């Protein structure tokens, strides 16, 4: 019996993979089967996981979580009211009463937003602000300080070049370009020197600077009240560069996890079904 089910699963897997060649009757069959089965499956799942234990059982059988509850008790009302609100959603199917469904949506969306806004403000705004209001002061390890200094000058120079020099001075010929780069490097070093001077440890941390610059740039990119020109435009370009680096890393990471899913399916075909590998 197990072999029959495994064979059915394997054939459906192959039918889905046949999509890689082109659309074909096998893929169509598998697609329609999964859509149809999922519709029936979710109907049963929703009823037994949500409607029965949370509405039907408390309201009609007077039991919640296996414990008896009283008719008209607080818990009974707490099951009945959301149930009625849920039924109101179906008013959409009667155009004359469709507006009633908005009550349920209003409670649902409003309650969700009210409960969610404080944790979201704490986790996504306050904590981020606090984490970024960090010192750019670094460690006093001489090697780390020298590496930081070299990289820092390059980054400061690039930032200065992008944000100030290139946008305001322009470049006309090779000599001018070299001159602009030199000016950028000097300004970069000056920026680095000033930071190091006021830093409590005398050196500055590259990682923390990247963190702060990346966040500033990204926030600037998502500022919609002004056109992306001048300094804001430069910052937005820095922000998009950081975003793309982040997306690249995320893409690679997810591709790896998808490959592991593929390995799982191939293992199912070769091991569970055909027994070709151990």
Distance of closest approach, residue 253 Cβ to other proteins, in angstroms: 9
> Nearer to other proteins by C-beta: 134 or 263?
134
Task: Decide whether 81 or 117 has the Cβ nearer to other proteins.
Answer: 117
- Which residues contact other proteins by CB under 8 A? 16, 19, 22-23, 27-28, 30-31, 34-35, 37-39, 41-42, 89, 92-93, 105, 108-109, 112, 117-118, 121-122, 125-127, 129-130, 132-137, 195, 198-200, 212, 215-216, 219-220, 222-228, 243-244, 247-248, 250-251, 254, 258
**Please, which residue, 68 or 106, has the CB nearer to other proteins?**
106
What sign has the CA pseudo-torsion 253, 259, 265, 270?
negative
CB 226 within 8 A of CB 232: yes
| Shortest Å distance, C-beta 69 to other proteins | 24
Considering beta carbons, is residue 127 or 140 the nearer one to other proteins? 127
Do 200 and 171 meet the contact criterion of CB atoms below 8 Å apart? no
Min. distance of Cβ 196 from other proteins in angstroms? Answer: 10
Nearer to other proteins, 68 or 248 (CB): 248
Closest approach of other proteins to the CB of residue 129, in Å: 5
CB of 276 to other proteins, least distance (A): 27
């Amino acid at each position: 019996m197990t072999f029959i089910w495994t064979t059915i699963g394997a054939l459906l897997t192959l039918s889905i993979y046949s999509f890689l060649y082109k659309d074909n009757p096998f893929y169509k069959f598998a697609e329609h089967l999964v859509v149809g089965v999922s519709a029936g499956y979710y109907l049963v799942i929703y009823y037994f996981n949500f409607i029965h234990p949370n509405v039907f059982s408390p309201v009609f059988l007077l039991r919640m979580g296996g414990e008896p509850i009283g008719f008209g008790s607080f818990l009974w009302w707490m099951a009945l009211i959301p149930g009625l609100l849920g039924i109101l959603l179906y008013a959409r199917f009667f155009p004359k009463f469709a507006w009633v469904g908005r009550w349920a949506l209003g409670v649902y969306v409003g309650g969700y937003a009210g409960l969610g806004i404080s944790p979201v403000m704490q986790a996504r705004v306050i904590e981020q602000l606090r984490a970024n209001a960090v010192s750019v002061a670094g460690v006093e390890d001489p090697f780390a300080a020298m590496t930081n200094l070299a990289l820092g000058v390059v980054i400061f120079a690039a930032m200065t070049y992008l944000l100030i020099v290139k946008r305001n001075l322009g470049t006309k010929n090779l000599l001018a370009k070299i001159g602009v780069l030199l000016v950028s490097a000097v300004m970069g070093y000056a920026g680095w020197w000033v930071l190091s001077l006021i830093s409590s440890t005398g050196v500055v941390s590259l990682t923390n600077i990247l963190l702060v610059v990346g966040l500033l740039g990204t926030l600037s990119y998502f500022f919609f009240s002004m056109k992306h020109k001048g300094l804001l435009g430069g910052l937005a370009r820095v922000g998009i560069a950081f975003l793309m680096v982040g997306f690249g890393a995320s893409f690679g990471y997810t591709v790896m996890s998808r490959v592991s899913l593929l390995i799982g399916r191939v293992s199912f075909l070769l091991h569970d079904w055909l027994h070709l590998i151990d």
